[in-house]
Amino acid sequence: MHQYHCMRQKKATEKYWVPFFKGRCLGDITAADIDAFITHMGNLPLSASSKNNVIIAGTKPLRRAFSKGKIESDPTRGHILFSGRKIRETRRCALLVF
């Protein structure tokens, strides 16, 4: 990984993840907490791409902690990244496909 990428990931976690999960241990974070964080990110005035970058900045370390046995369960499993589309648009696309 390049230094620039690592610095951006670190800044994203410091700016968004740390304040949101302040005082929580890694093992205490649940899938519902990740859902709440993704919802919180959806309310911020950022592009969908930026929101996804912030989400990934925190979910990668959580997955790594799980794979290395540092936490008992993977709270990031089964989550979908922020798409930026409204529900109505998604339904319209689904109707066109099916």
What one-letter code names the amino acid at 19? P
The dihedral built from the CA positions of residue 71, 72, 77 and 83, taken in this order, carries a sign that is negative
User: Counting Cβ atoms within 10 Å, is residue 34 exposed (0-12), middle (13-18) or buried (19+)?
Assistant: buried
Per residue in 67-91, pLDDT (tens digit) is 999 999 999 888 777 665 543 444 4
Cα dihedral 81→85→90→91 (10° resolution):
120
Q: What does the block give as tokens for 90?
A: 């998604």
Residue ranges covered by each domain of the chain: 3-97
pLDDT digits (tens, 9 = 90+) for 21-30: 998 988 899 9
Judge: domain 3-97, CATH 1.10.150. yes
* Mean pLDDT lowest among 4-8, 23-27, 34-38, 82-86: 82-86
